[in-house]
C-alpha cells in the first residue's frame, strides 16, 4: 500500500506510450491520483479532478504559461505566413552560415546555449530558428526537438546566472552556513548528466551520427514552412529580437533590478505579447496583411497550439496532484534508505531523475530532494557540491525527458513535432546520459567517502 503513490505516474506514462493519446493518459493518471488522495472515495473523485484542473487555471504562474503557449501560436503563424521566416532562412542559407546539417545543428544548439537566462524563451527562439533550417536540410522535427530540449534545460544548471541558480542558492543556504555560493558554483563541474547531455548534442551535430528511433525519424522531416514566398526578414527578426531582449528586460523589471530574482513565466508572457503586438502593427501598417487577415492568421495559429496547451494544462494538474499525494517524498525515502554511503550521490541522482520524470518538474524535485541531500552529505562526509550536482542533474533528466514535463512539452511545441515521438526518440539519448552520469557518481562517491 505504501507504494501506491507511484501508481498514477506509472499508469499515465504506460498509457501514453501504449495508446499515444496523451490527453487521455494524463487525465487517467490525474483521476487515479485524486482517488488515492481521497482514500478511495469514488464519488468525490470527479469533482476533485475538475477542481485540480481549475486550480491550475487560477494559479497566476500556471495561467501565464498556458496563455504564453496560446499567444506564441499566433506569433509563429504571423511570422510564417508573412514570409518573414522564409526570407530569413533563405538569406542564412545563401550566406553559407547554415548551409549544411552540421552548421544548422550548431546554430540551433548555440542559440539554446546563449539564451541560458530563461528556459522557455531559449526553447522558443531555438525552435523558431531551427524549424525552417531543419526542414530545408531534410532533418526531422524530432531531431530538432531533441537538440533544443537537450541544450536549453541542461545549460540552465551549468550557467547558473539565472532563476535556477537563485533557487538553488535559496535551498542550499540553510545547510552550509553562508557558503552557498561556493557550493552551488562547485556543483557545475560535477553535474555529469548536464555536461554529458550537452556533449552528446555537440558530438552528434559534428558527426551527424544518430541511433535508436531518432535514426529512423531523421528520414521523415515534416512539411516545410518555406513553401511560403520570402518577403522581408524583419517580419521574423524584429519580433524575435523583442522576444529575447524583452524577456531579459521584463526579468530585470520583475526582479527589481536583478535578473536572478525575476519572474520567468510573467516575463516571457509579457515579451510574447509585446512581440505579437509589434508584429501585428508592422504587418497592418506595412499593408502586408489587412486587419481581418491578421486576426484570422493569429487565431489560426492559436488554434494550432490548443491541443499542446491542453496537454500542458493536464500535466501541470497531474504534477500538483502527485505532490499532494507525496510521490516525490516516497521516491526520496526509498533512495536514502540504502546502507552504503559511497552510493549516496548515485542514488540521489537516480531519485531526482525518477522523481522529476514521474512528477514532471525539476524545481519541484529540487524542493523535495535538496533538503534531503544536504544533511545527508554533511552527515556522511560527502562534498555538498557533489550531492547538489547529483540533484540538479537528476532533476534536469526528468525536466527534458518526461512526457508530462512542461519543458518537454514546450520543446515539442517549439519544434512543431508530435509530442510522443519527441519523447520516444529523445529517451535513448537521455538514458545514455543518465547511465554514464550514474557511473560517474558511483566513482565520485568511492573517491570522496
C-alpha 267/C-alpha 247 separation (Å) is 5
CA angle 367-371-373, nearest 5°?
110
37: which residues sit within 8 A by CB, 6+ positions away? 48, 321, 324, 325
For 342-355, write each residue's pLDDT tens digit.
888 999 899 889 88
For 311-348, write each residue's pLDDT tens digit.
778 877 887 887 788 876 776 676 666 677 888 899 98
Among 313, 311, 324, 395, smallest CA distance to 8 is for 324
C-alpha 30/C-alpha 64 separation (Å) is 21
Q: What is 10-37 written as a DSSP string?
A: HHHHHHHHHH--HHHHHHHHHHHHHHHH
CA angle 286-288-291, nearest 5°?
90
- CB 44, CB 441: distance < 8 Å: no
- CB 397, CB 434: distance < 8 Å: yes
User: In the 3-class helix/strand/coil scheme, how is 283-313 assigned residue by residue?
Assistant: HHHCCCCCHHHHHHHHHHHHHHCHHHHHHHH
- CB 223, CB 136: distance < 8 Å: no
- The C-alpha cell at 283 is 504587418
Among 107, 103, 145, smallest CA distance to 123 is for 145
- The C-alpha cell at 443 is 566513482
For 229-251, write each residue's pLDDT tens digit.
888 889 988 988 888 788 888 88
**pLDDT recorded at residue 426:** 92
- Please state the separation of Cα 426 from the chain's center in Å: 13
- The C-alpha cell at 226 is 518555406
C-alpha 246/C-alpha 5 separation (Å) is 41
Among 199, 188, 202, 210, smallest CA distance to 436 is for 199
Among 38, 67, 35, 51, smallest CA distance to 306 is for 67
pLDDT at 403 over 80: yes
**pLDDT recorded at residue 224:** 45
Among 214, 221, 216, smallest CA distance to 424 is for 214
- CB 77, CB 280: distance < 8 Å: no
- Across residues 46-54, what is the average pLDDT? 93
**pLDDT recorded at residue 225:** 45
- CB 26, CB 311: distance < 8 Å: yes
Among 118, 6, 18, smallest CA distance to 68 is for 118
pLDDT at 118 over 70: no
pLDDT at 258 over 80: no
Residue ranges of alpha helices (H) inside 208-305 are 213-217, 234-254, 264-285, 291-304
C-alpha 190/C-alpha 179 separation (Å) is 17
Q: How confident is the model at residue 20 (pLDDT cuts 50, 70, 90)?
A: low
- CB 44, CB 38: distance < 8 Å: yes
**pLDDT recorded at residue 124:** 77
Q: How confident is the model at residue 117 (pLDDT cuts 50, 70, 90)?
A: low
**pLDDT recorded at residue 1:** 53
129: which residues sit within 8 A by CB, 6+ positions away? 107, 108, 111
Length of the chain counted residue by residue: 449
- CB 398, CB 57: distance < 8 Å: no
C-alpha 84/C-alpha 239 separation (Å) is 10
Burial class (CB in 10 A: 0-12, 13-18, 19+), 344: buried
For 344-397, write each residue's pLDDT tens digit.
899 989 988 988 888 777 776 786 777 778 877 887 788 999 999 999 999 999
Amino acid at each position: 500500500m505504501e507504494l501506491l503513490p507511484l501508481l498514477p505516474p506509472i499508469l499515465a506514462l504506460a498509457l501514453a506510450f501504449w495508446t499515444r493519446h496523451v490527453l487521455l493518459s494524463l487525465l487517467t493518471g490525474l483521476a487515479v491520483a485524486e482517488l488515492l488522495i481521497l482514500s478511495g472515495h469514488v464519488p468525490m473523485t470527479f469533482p476533485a479532478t475538475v477542481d485540480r484542473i481549475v486550480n491550475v487555471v487560477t494559479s497566476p504562474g500556471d495561467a501565464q504559461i498556458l496563455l504564453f503557449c496560446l499567444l506564441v501560436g499566433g506569433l509563429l503563424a504571423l511570422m510564417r505566413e508573412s514570409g518573414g521566416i522564409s526570407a530569413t532562412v533563405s538569406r542564412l542559407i545563401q550566406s553559407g552560415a547554415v548551409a549544411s546539417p552540421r552548421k544548422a545543428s550548431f546554430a540551433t544548439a548555440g542559440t539554446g546555449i546563449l539564451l541560458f537566462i530563461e528556459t522557455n524563451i531559449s526553447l522558443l527562439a531555438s525552435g523558431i530558428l531551427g524549424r525552417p533550417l531543419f526542414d530545408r536540410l531534410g532533418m526531422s522535427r524530432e531531431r530538432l526537438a531533441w537538440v533544443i530540449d537537450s541544450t536549453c534545460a541542461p545549460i540552465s544548471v551549468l550557467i547558473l546566472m539565472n532563476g535556477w541558480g537563485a533557487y538553488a542558492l535559496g535551498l542550499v543556504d540553510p545547510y552550509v552556513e553562508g557558503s552557498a555560493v561556493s557550493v552551488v558554483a562547485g556543483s557545475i563541474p560535477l553535474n555529469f548528466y548536464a555536461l554529458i547531455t550537452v556533449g552528446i548534442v555537440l558530438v552528434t551535430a559534428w558527426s551527424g551520427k544518430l541511433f535508436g528511433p531518432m535514426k529512423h525519424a531523421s528520414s521523415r522531416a515534416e512539411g516545410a514552412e518555406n513553401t511560403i514566398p520570402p518577403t522581408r526578414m524583419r517580419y521574423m527578426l524584429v519580433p524575435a529580437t523583442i522576444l529575447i531582449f524583452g524577456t531579459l528586460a521584463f526579468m530585470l523589471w520583475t526582479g527589481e533590478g536583478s535578473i536572478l530574482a525575476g519572474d520567468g513565466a510573467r516575463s516571457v508572457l509579457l515579451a510574447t505579447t509585446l512581440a505579437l503586438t509589434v508584429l501585428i502593427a508592422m504587418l497592418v501598417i506595412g499593408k502586408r496583411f489587412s486587419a481581418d487577415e491578421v486576426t484570422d492568421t493569429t487565431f489560426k495559429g492559436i488554434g494550432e497550439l490548443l491541443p499542446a496547451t491542453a496537454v500542458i494544462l493536464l500535466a501541470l494538474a497531474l504534477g500538483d496532484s502527485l505532490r499532494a499525494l507525496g510521490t516525490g517524498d516516497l521516491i526520496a525515502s526509498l533512495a536514502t534508505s540504502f546502507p552504503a554511503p559511497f552510493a549516496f550521490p548515485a542514488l540521489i541522482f537516480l531519485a531526482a531523475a525518477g522523481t522529476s520524470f514521474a512528477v514532471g518538474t525539476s524545481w519541484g524535485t529540487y524542493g523535495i530532494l535538496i533538503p534531503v541531500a544536504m544533511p545527508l552529505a554533511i552527515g556522511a562526509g560527502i562534498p555538498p557540491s557533489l550531492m547538489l550536482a547529483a540533484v540538479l542533474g537528476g532533476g534536469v533528466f526528468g525536466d527534458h525527458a518526461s512526457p508530462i514535463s512542461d519543458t518537454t512539452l514546450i520543446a515539442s511545441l517549439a519544434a512543431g513535432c508530435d509530442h510522443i515521438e519527441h519523447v520516444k526518440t529523445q529517451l535513448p539519448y537521455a538514458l545514455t546520459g543518465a547511465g554514464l552520469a550514474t557511473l560517474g557518481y558511483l566513482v565520485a562517491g568511492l573517491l570522496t567517502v
